[in-house]
Every structure is written in C-alpha cells, then in structure tokens.
Amino acid sequence: MKALRSWVLATAMLLASSHAGAIDDRFNAAKYDKGGFAPVNDDTYAKECGSCHFTYMPGMLPERSWRKLMATTDKHFGESLALAPDAAKHIESYLAANAADHSPYRGSELMLWELPKDAVPTRITMLPLMRHRHVVIRKLMTDTNTPLHVLSSCETCHEQAATGSFAYDHIVVPGLSKIVRPGGMF
C-alpha cells in the first residue's frame, strides 16, 4: 500500500509540474532544432570513458566542470583512470570545446538552468535541472523496490540517450512504466 501511495504521489507531482512539460521538446532532437544534446563524436572519449559508464555528452556540464574532472583523473569517484597523457589531453580538449557553455544545443542550455556562475559541479546528477526533472524517480527509488539503483545510468530509462535525445517520448522506467507517449499515461 505504501508503494502505491508513493506511486500516486509521484505521478501527481509529475503531472502537476507545468515547467516539465514546457521544456520537454527542447530535449527532443527530432522535434526541436538543436534539441537534446550533440551526440558524442569522439572515438577516444567514447572508448576511454564509455568502457566504464554511460558516455555523457560534453554538453551536459560546463567547461569548468570538465576541466576539474580531468584535473583529478587520479581520484575519479574513487578510481584512478590511469589515462595516457596524450589521451587525457585529447579528451579534456574535446570535453571543453563541446561543453554546455559552448554548445548550441537546447539540452545544454537547459543544463545550465539555475546553476550559479561560480559553481563547478562534478556530477551531472547534482545539477539543479537534473534534481528537478528526476524528483519523481528519486522519490520512487526511495519508497519502492525498483531496479533503479543510480541516476547516472541515463540509458536505463532514456531509450535514445546515446543519440542525445532525452525526450519524454523515449522514456521507459524499468519495472514501473510502459513507454511514455504524448497523451499517454506514465
């Protein structure tokens, strides 16, 4: 019963959020000019970083964040990346040049939403927009026995994450939802 109550509360919160509906199309690469994020198009970055986790689009963080992450590769969330110096320099250049504050994509613009100019987030999941947009999922992760363990596995729910599209049209929450389509039910 508690899980059902949580589900109803979370769904009501999602439907009541007018802001969420207003920005949906800006995360959809197919519906909006420069919607979503520029897909990853660098083989070195994809190989080195994508071998351990989802290959985040550079447009998901500002340049200052990518530079801080690359300056601390010996302490990358408890791991040492042991990147060859030329590979590290290449990856840092790629991330910096394509960061949110340099990207023409709508998703990148939105990732900077309410982020203080002096903030240097090193986790995408801590950005104000991410916290706002995933409030329902965070609540469900807390109150139910869902297979969602972390918010950092974008491709778990966002079917077309690798293409840069994070639209509602392409969301499936494992164990909780059917495919979300415009006019449909979550």
Read off the pLDDT of residues 60-78 as tens digits, 9 standing for 90 and up.
999 999 999 999 998 888 8
Q: How far apart are CA 32 and CA 49, in angstroms?
A: 28
In-domain check, residue 156? yes
Residue 31 lies in a domain: yes
Rg for the chain (alpha carbons), in Å?
17
pLDDT value for 27: 83
pLDDT at 181 over 80: no
Asked whether the predicted pLDDT for residue 175 surpasses 60, the reply is yes
178 within a domain of the structure (yes/no): no
Which one is predicted more confidently, 13 or 18?
13
Residue 14 located in a structural domain: yes
| Contacting residues for 49 by C-beta, under 8 A, at least 6 apart | 55, 56, 91
% of the chain residues with pLDDT over 90: 37
Residue-wise pLDDT for 15-63, tens only, equals 444 344 444 678 887 888 898 999 999 999 999 998 888 899 999 999 9
**In this structure, is residue 65 part of a structural domain?**
yes
Provide the pLDDT for residue 116: 95
Give just the sign of the alpha carbon dihedral 100, 103, 106, 107. negative
* 185 assigned to some structural domain: no
Percentage of the chain beyond pLDDT 70 is: 71
Distances (CA, A) of 62 to 39, 53, 154, 178: 16, 19, 18, 33
Distance CA 8, CA 40 (A): 37
Could you tell me the residue range of the domain that residue 99 belongs to? 2-170
Q: Answer whether residue 28 is part of any domain.
A: yes
Count of the separate structural domains present in the chain? 1
pTM given for the model:
0.76
Q: Is 183 among the domain residues? A: no
Q: Residue 75: exposed, middle, or buried by beta-carbon count in 10 A (0-12, 13-18, 19+)?
A: exposed
Most distant CA atoms of the chain, gap in Å: 55
